[in-house]
Every structure is written in C-alpha cells, then in structure tokens.
Structure 1
Amino acid sequence: MRALVIDHAAPTHLAMAEVPDPVPGPDEALVRVEAVSLNYGEVADAARDGAPDGAVIGWDAAGVVVRPAADGSGPPEGARVTTLGHTGWAELRAVPASLTGTVPDGADPGAAATLPVAGLTALQVLRRLGQVVGRRIMVTGATGGVGRFAVQLAARAGAQVVAISRDPASEAALRALGADEVRTAAADVRGPVAGVVDNVGGPTLVDAFAALEAGGTLVNVGRTAEAASVLPTDALNAYGGRHDRSIRTFYLLGEPVPDFSGDLSWLAAEVASGRLDPGIVRRAPWTRHEEAARTLLDGRLRGKAVLDVE
C-alpha cells in the first residue's frame, strides 16, 4: 500500500512510499482510509528527526471498515468510521474498537478526520475543568484545531468564552463559533477566568495563569510558542484571591488507553449535523502533503488541514 512516511531528506521530512499492509490484531479492524488531517505536533516532530526514515505516522484518519475485528468488537464491515492511532497516513490502517467512532452515512470523511486529536482533546480538557456553565473560560490559540473545537464546545456547555488569537482578523470568525470576547493576548484579558485551555505555552501560559481566579485550573495542551514558560517569583503567591490555582498537563493517549469510541461517534454526529464546525481551511489530495505541512509549520494555518487519500 501507499503511505506517507518519514523521509529526512525531503523538505518537510515526509514522502510518499510503498509499505507493507498492516496486519490487524484480534481486537483491531482494518480500515480503508479516505481522508486524514494534520496536527502541528506530529508534523513538527517529523521535522525534528523524531522518527526514523520509512516510519508511517499520522494520528487522524477516517474511512470505511473493510475487515471487522476478529474478536467481534467494533463496527461491522462497511461501516464509516473516524479513527485515532499512530499510523494513519496510509491507504489502510489497523485500529482497535476503543479508538474508532462511527460516522453517519453520507458524512464528509474529511470533516470526520479532523476529530480524533483536536475534537477529543478539546472535549477531554473541558471535562477536566469541571462545571463550566456560567463560568468564564479562556482558550488560547483559539484559531487552531483544538482551539476552535474548545471555543465551540465551551460555548455549547454554557461558558462565557474568552478566545485568544494573535490575529485580529479572526475576531468575527471566533465570535461566530461562540466566543463572547476575543483578545490578541492573554495579558490583555481584564478580570479573572475560572479555567484555561492553553494551546500555546511559553509566555502565554504565564499570562493566562495570572488571570486565573481562586480555585481555577489551567490545562496545557500545546506548546506552539516553542518557548519556555518562566513564572515570576510571585506567580504562586496565594494571597489576594489567588489560592488553590493549578496548572495541569495533558496527554490524550494515557495508560491504560481510554475507550474513546462513544466520544468519537458523538463528535462525528455533531459535525455531520452541522452543529459543530470542523474548521477545514486547507484541503488537497494527499500527494500535495508538502505544501500543507509547510503551511502548518509556518503558523499560517487558522484551522484544520485535510488530505484526501486517492
């Protein structure tokens, strides 16, 4: 089969190649991939020589089950699915039922492919913030894949959403997604927030943490700033209503790996119905992967990049 593999001689460290078909385990379905989406972390890791030449990578992929799991778990043959794993940028992928969500018939596979990392991450992080109805929630990096989903889901849950984007031109789009306030920097936010979904790290994390009210939580998801988060000496002082604040790390595929099948299926239904915007801003055949990866690495992407597998 064909796949996108690591090639450190290529400009974006990705190239098309022939690789062996995957061999599913007893609890894994074989899926014919129709579309994949790119995430900053996996593309950046490839560019940093983080994987050997010839390795198939890719977290997000949507397609059709061509061989159900031998143990009877998961969706049947012919089911349309969205899947999460580590080797998705290929014509075929083997994936367990716990990382597979069903997609409504007729739904766009490209839209479904945006969900596994970005949609699940936004959903899981908001749950870590606890009850958000009527509370003020900050989302940094709000125009990115996770950020866009977090703005929408937080607004749907009844939060007052403060969206942070360094691009002033994104204000109208973020308000359309449900943001109540839009700022170009976390330091510009006036008044405390109850929780933060931080997709940026670096100085933005420091400023967002300073905005937390007592008992507030910041969950760091991404570090696109690629800079250190240096807290000032008084950042952890607990007086003046600043007590019990916390910074939490996040990893989607912890141990044991959670069963995300229900959440993926729900997200897919929300996107298919039009109640959730996948935010696809670049779409092309997967043979044009290089320009999509370069745009992502350059920080010029305000949403999701999708590649259709031909």
Structure 2
Amino acid sequence: MRALVVDHGEAGPVRFADVDEPVPSSGEVLVEIRHIGLNFGELNYVDQWPAGAVHGHDAAGVVVRAASDGSGPPEGTRVALGMSAHAWAERVAVSPASLGIVPEGVDLADAAALGIAGVTALRVLRKRSLLARDVLVTGASGGVGHFAVQLAALAGARVTALVGSPDRAAGLRELGADQVLTDLAGAECRFDLVLDTVGGPLVAQAWSLLAEGGTIHVVGYSSGQDTTFPSGALFGFGEPRTIATYGDMTPTSGELTDLLGLMAAGRLSAPVGLRGNWLDVDDAVRALFARKVHGKIVLDVV
C-alpha cells in the first residue's frame, strides 16, 4: 500500500513509498483512510522521527475490520484519528483509544482537521473556568488558534486573537473573537489565560500582560526564536503567575468525541483553509511553511 513516509533529504519532509500492510493486534481496528490532516510541527521538525517511517498523526476514514477482541467500533463506522502515529497511509491499524466516531452530518474531511489542533486547544482551555475571563490566543489564524478562539468563546470567555498580519485576521471575529490584534501593544486588558502557539519574544510580552493568578500555556514555538525576560520580570507580588508547557500525547478518544459532538450540533466549525489531493502534498507543505494557509490543510487520499 502507499503511504507518506519521513524523508530527511532536501526533497522532504515526506515522500510517497510502498509499505507493508498493517497487521492489527487483537485490540486494534483497521481503518481505511480517506483524508489526512497536516500539522506544522510534525512537518517542520521532521528530524524527530526516523527516516522511512510512515508519518502523520491526524486522519479520518472508515473501519474496514473491527478489533478481534470485540473492543472499538464495528466495521463500516466513520472515525477520526487524533494524535495517532503513522496515520498517513491508505490503511492504518489503530487503538480505539485514539478514535472518535464521526456523527452523521459531520463531513469526514472536517473530522480529519481535528486531531492535534482541536484536542490541544480543548485540553488547555479545560484547565480552568473561562466564564467572564480574559483569554489571549496567539497565532490565532492557525489550526490550534482557530479551534481555541471558538472553544474559548463557547466557554464564555472574552477572547483576544493575535495574528501576524492584518490579512490573517479574516473570519476570527465571526468565530467568537472580541478583539483581533496584530500587536500586543493594543491589548485593552490583562489576561487570565494565554494559549501561545508562537513562542519567542511574544511569550515575554504576554507575561507582562498576565493578570495575577494567570497562566501562559505554551503549546508551540512556530517563531523558532528564543524567549528572553527582562531583569526582574519574573518577580512579583500577589497571586502567582505561571508558565506551563504542553506535550500531552495521551489517548484522545474522549476529546475527539466531545469535539465531534460540538461539530454535529453546529457549535464548532473545522478551520480547513486548504483542501486538496494527497498527491499534491509537496505543494501543500510549501503553502503551510510559507504561512499561506489560514487554519488546517486537509488532503484526500485517492
């Protein structure tokens, strides 16, 4: 079968290859993949995975063989894969713990956009009550950012979305952002929670705007820059402020189920900024790296 595998060469980060058919364990289902969702991190930092390994974590498809031990969904069930290793192939053996059942009315391609981006946003925003809280989402035009803006607004937060340029602000107010900025100098409040996907100097800027008891959750570092805090910036009186890291790759079935339920109810939309054919993956990767895509890239497996 065909798959997209890790390529450490100049032509990378992924290439097509013929690989062995997966052999499910007794507790795994076999899924025929229909769509895959690309993420900046797994493609930009591809050297963290071995060359030749089937790449990717997010996808959606149909169960073509149920688990022999009786666990998991039956044959014919539409499913979304989230944070599931080796997902970018024609067929994948998957534990039910990494699957969400896609409800009727939810497009399978939209479900493929959830995965890492949707689950990351949901897990961070569940760390505290957001009702009437001020929340900052940096890199808001990306996949995580689009989901975070919507979910924070659904939870009753006052949402500020930060983007890199005015042309990347489109649609964020419609998703629930109360304010859209291109520079934190224009912030009108101090933030109780910051979901940061950018890293670099922006973390220090956000720290200076953090309310007492507030937290910055660092979920990405797309800027590739270092963070330097001015002398004394990390000292303060009052309720402690914190910076939290994020690297949670635990099973995602529960979160995927919740997110898919919100989609089915019309309360959450998939931020698919580019839909295409997986044969054109090289063009899609270039568009992703050039920051030409708002939201997620979903490719059809054909």
For normalisation by structure 2, the TM-score amounts to 0.95
State yes or no: 1:245 paired with 2:241. Answer: yes
Helix, strand or coil at the partner of 2:286: helix
Helix, strand or coil at the partner of 1:34: strand
- Unmatched 5+ stretches in structure 2: none
**Which residue identity is paired with 2:103?**
P
Helix, strand or coil at the partner of 1:265: helix
1:35 aligned partner: 35
Distance 2:248 2:45 in 1: 16
1:302 aligned partner: 294
Distance 2:9 2:211 in 1: 49
- 1:269 Cα shift? 2.9
Residues 186 and 95 of structure 1: CA distance in aligned 2, closer, same or farther (over 3 Å): farther
**Which residue identity is paired with 2:108?**
P
2:78 aligned partner: 80
8 Å CA contact 2:6–2:12 kept in 1: the answer is no
Helix, strand or coil at the partner of 2:263: helix
1:127 aligned partner: 126
**Identity rate of aligned residues, in percent?**
46
8 Å CA contact 2:165–2:182 kept in 1: the answer is yes
Helix, strand or coil at the partner of 2:45: helix
Q: How many residues align?
A: 301
For normalisation by structure 1, the TM-score amounts to 0.93
**Which residue identity is paired with 2:123?**
Q
1:182 aligned partner: 180
Q: How does 1:53-202 map to 2 (within 5 A)?
A: 53-84=51-82, 85-128=84-127, 130-202=128-200
Helix, strand or coil at the partner of 2:111: helix
**Which residue identity is paired with 1:217?**
T
1:280 aligned partner: 272
Q: CA RMSD in A?
A: 1.5
- 1:31 Cα shift? 0.5
Helix, strand or coil at the partner of 2:126: helix
- 1:172 Cα shift? 4.3
Distance 2:10 2:262 in 1: 38
For residues 262-285 of structure 1, give each alpha carbon's deviation from its aligned partner in whole angstroms, at most 9, with x where no partner exists.
321221232244321111111111
8 Å CA contact 1:187–1:207 kept in 2: the answer is no
**Which residue identity is paired with 1:262?**
G
- 1:108 Cα shift? 1.6
Helix, strand or coil at the partner of 2:169: helix
8 Å CA contact 2:104–2:264 kept in 1: the answer is no
For residues 234-266 of structure 1, give each alpha carbon's deviation from its aligned partner in whole angstroms, at most 9, with x where no partner exists.
211213x5x40000001121xxx34x3232122
- 1:168 Cα shift? 1.1
Helix, strand or coil at the partner of 2:148: helix
- 1:86 Cα shift? 1.3
Helix, strand or coil at the partner of 2:118: helix
- Unmatched 5+ stretches in structure 1: none
Helix, strand or coil at the partner of 1:118: helix
8 Å CA contact 1:200–1:224 kept in 2: the answer is yes
